[in-house]
């Protein structure tokens, strides 16, 4: 079998898996990041009593952290998104292939042939059992 080149299959399961993976990573990171950001700067502001000391000490720190976040967050977001696409594709691709094979069998009058999937597909065990079931149903 050839290597899959289409990363986005037209199957709703990939979108659902992608959404679950992205949200389960992005939401906790955003909440924890916002809380940490707020805590650090609130503590710094409370510890420094003089307004001129606040501006001279806190503003450069805020600018540096903002610059780091401005660079790091888009890179991390792209990394998370690409990993989520890869994970969702690993499941959605074989599901789509299985559906296409079964639809092809149902639409033709020829006897069913074994369903083929790649050796490393996550659903290979399920496909093997479906093939065994079809073999058993062929025998009288």
Total domain count, the chain: 1
Is residue 94 in some structural domain?
Answer: yes
pLDDT at position 101, please?
Answer: 83
Mean predicted lDDT score pLDDT of the chain: 79
pLDDT at position 14, please?
Answer: 77
SS (HEC) of 19-76: HHHHHHHHHHHHHHHHHHHHHHHHHHHHHCCCHHHHHHHHHHHHHHHHHHHHHHHHHH
Report the C-alpha gap between 116 and 124 in whole angstroms.
9
∠ CA 40-45-47, rounded to 5°? 95
Residue (of 130, 107, 105) closest to 117 by Cα position = 130
Is residue 2 in some structural domain?
Answer: no
Kindly give the confidence (pLDDT) of every residue in the chain, 140 residues in length, as a single tens digit, with 9 standing for 90 and above.
Answer: 555 566 666 667 777 888 888 888 888 888 888 888 777 777 766 666 666 766 677 778 778 888 888 898 888 888 888 888 887 777 777 888 888 888 888 888 777 788 888 787 778 888 888 889 888 887 76
Q: Determine whether 39 is exposed, middle or buried from the number of CB atoms within 10 Å of its CB (0-12, 13-18, 19+).
A: exposed
Is residue 70 in some structural domain?
Answer: yes
Is residue 27 in some structural domain?
Answer: yes
Query: Which structural domain, as residue segments, surrounds residue 116?
Result: 12-138
pLDDT at position 39, please?
Answer: 79
pLDDT at position 26, please?
Answer: 81
Report the C-alpha gap between 106 and 116 in whole angstroms.
16
0.75 exceeded by pTM: no
């Amino acid at each position: 079998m050839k290597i899959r080149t289409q990363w986005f299959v037209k199957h709703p399961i990939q979108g659902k898996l992608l959404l679950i993976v992205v949200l389960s990573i992005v939401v906790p990171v955003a909440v924890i990041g916002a809380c940490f950001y707020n805590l650090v700067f609130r503590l710094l502001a409370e510890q420094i009593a003089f307004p001129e000391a606040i501006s001279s000490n806190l503003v450069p720190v805020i600018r540096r952290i903002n610059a780091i976040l401005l660079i790091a967050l888009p890179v991390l977001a792209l990394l998370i998104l690409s990993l989520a696409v890869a994970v969702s594709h690993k499941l959605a691709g074989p599901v789509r292939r299985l559906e296409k094979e079964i639809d092809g069998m149902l639409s033709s009058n020829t006897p069913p042939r074994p369903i083929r999937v790649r050796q490393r597909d996550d659903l290979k065990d399920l496909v093997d059992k479906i093939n065994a079931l079809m073999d058993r149903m062929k025998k009288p």
